Amino acid sequence: MRGNLLAYSLSTFFILLMLVVFFKHGQWTLGPLSETLYQEYYVSDWLINYEGGFVRRGLLGQLLFWMYGIWPFNVREFILMLPFIFSPLLLLLLLRMFHRLQWSPTVLFCLCSLGGGFLSVCIRRDYLVLILAYALFSLVSRWLRTGRLTYFLGYFFISVVLILSYEPSVFIVFPSVFLVAGKRLLTWTVVPVILVTFLSKGTAEIGLSIWQSWMPLFESYPFGDGPEVIGMGEEALGWATWPTFLFHLHSAYVGPEPSWLTAPLITYMLAGTYYLVTFLDVAKVPFWPSGSFNARIMSNAFLLQFIAMIPMFTVLSCDWGRNIPLCTVSALFIAHFFPKAAGRVSFIDKTSCHIQSMLSRCAVLRSPIFYFFVAMTVPMPLVLAPKIEDSIAGLIFQSVFGSM
């Protein structure tokens, strides 16, 4: 009884603290919005369209382009406000799922605040990707149960939108779909779209043509340095592959300022995230229904997603604060919709069994005090290699003592 009371008290305090950080970070994010230029990646990445030729992640930009042609509006401000629309929607979706499954929601508040991941303009289109991933998993699950054509067509439509909106979503959604669908038509229908998208990387000339297609927008809503400087999103279409890979590896695993703490902090970041997800039943919440939680299923799903997303954790990205939430939230979806999927891979299931067996022998890991200590101290940088200050405790310390 005393242990439950301690867990309830710590959970309540932690959630209240995270809500403060959640809304405080929204204020921090809103502050520099007026200084964000068209050229910066956060905006220009959304502007990639098909006006200069078919290229990766161009669907959303093409939709924006058509919308602007029908009714001119300030696209920059619209893009900067999208995280404040999709982030709460995703959070509500997760809370609804956790309530239905009777899982402790504390880990969601960790995800909301680690590195300022939620309500951050820097996250770009990740919230939309996760919402679409949830819809895709739901449709696949229903199609496998009923065989109805409408669910299959919905799966195909969402798949195409995901791939054409953010091509790395292939590594997020399709490994688990392959495991549950096998060699069925379900898996292979989107392969041509995947191949065409990955082969259509684009060139510097296409990037410049895409940027110039927005000239009426820049003239109607002038901002910053002007349109003569190409946006980073469009410029990236012309980046050489090998130097880009090396840049991502160096930035994520070494950082602009190399430190002997980098490797230990990366290890702690990944191990801490795994612990927070698979031991979330330790954090009991008084106003939340208490149900059963299978740590092994969650471990399988998390390991599956981490292995599937290794390209994103290495050569395709240097954004830890994006990739870990993408991995974790999608693993939560998989554990919900396909609880047996990752267990079909014997290596993953044996690894989960070994890790969970080893961790269950340590009593301190079942302590709510230790759980919230990890939640407060595990680093989660938005980009680049982690630092000590990239944690919830670090964010609070900087906000309190940095302003003094």
What DSSP character marks residue 230? P
Whether residue 205 is contained in a domain is answered as no
CA atoms within 13 A on the CB side of 279: 26
| 224: pLDDT strictly greater than 70 | no
d(CA 246, CA 359): 35
Average pLDDT, the chain: 86
* Number of domains observed in the structure of the chain: 1
| 347: pLDDT strictly greater than 90 | yes
Q: Among the listed ranges 61-65, 116-120, 327-331, which one has the minimum average pLDDT value?
A: 116-120
Whether residue 178 is contained in a domain is answered as no
Whether residue 394 is contained in a domain is answered as yes
d(CA 161, CA 175): 17
Mean pLDDT of 104-122: 65
Q: Among the listed ranges 9-18, 63-72, 287-296, which one has the minimum average pLDDT value?
A: 9-18
Mean pLDDT of 43-56: 94
pLDDT grade for 335, boundaries at 50, 70 and 90: very high
Furthest CA-CA distance within the chain: 67
Q: What is the pLDDT of residue 203?
A: 93
> What is the distance of C-alpha 64 from the center of its chain?
22
Whether residue 279 is contained in a domain is answered as yes
More confident residue, 37 or 302: 302
Whether residue 307 is contained in a domain is answered as yes
Are the C-beta atoms of 166 and 124 separated by less than 8 Å? no
User: Mapping DSSP to helix (H, G, I), strand (E, B) and coil, where does residue 339 land?
Assistant: coil
Distances 330 to 54, 171, 182, 239 between C-alpha atoms, Å: 28, 11, 19, 29
Percent of the chain at pLDDT > 90 equals: 50
Residues shown for the chain: 404
Mean pLDDT of 353-373: 91
Are the C-beta atoms of 350 and 344 separated by less than 8 Å? no
Q: What six digits make up the tokens of 198?
A: 């990955």
Mean pLDDT of 85-99: 87
| 8: pLDDT strictly greater than 70 | yes
* 3-class SS string, 80-144: HHCHHHHHHHHHHHHHHHHHHHCCCCHHHHHHHHHHHCCCCHHHCCHHHHHHHHHHHHHHHHHHH
Q: What is the pLDDT of residue 404?
A: 47
| 399: pLDDT strictly greater than 80 | no
Mean pLDDT of 150-156: 94
Are the C-beta atoms of 104 and 283 separated by less than 8 Å? yes
Q: What is the pLDDT of residue 132?
A: 96
Residue pLDDT, tens place only, 199-218: 898 999 999 999 999 999 98
Residue pLDDT, tens place only, 56-82: 999 999 999 999 999 999 998 899 888
Distances 319 to 18, 215, 322 between C-alpha atoms, Å: 22, 30, 5
| 229: pLDDT strictly greater than 90 | no
Mean pLDDT of 361-371: 90
Whether residue 200 is contained in a domain is answered as no
- pTM comes to 0.91
Q: Which domain holds residue 386?
A: 2-35+83-124+240-401
Whether residue 118 is contained in a domain is answered as yes
d(CA 248, CA 401): 32
Mean pLDDT of 238-257: 91
Q: Among the listed ranges 11-15, 146-150, 350-354, which one has the minimum average pLDDT value?
A: 11-15
Distances 257 to 69, 79, 101, 385 between C-alpha atoms, Å: 45, 31, 43, 9
Whether residue 28 is contained in a domain is answered as yes
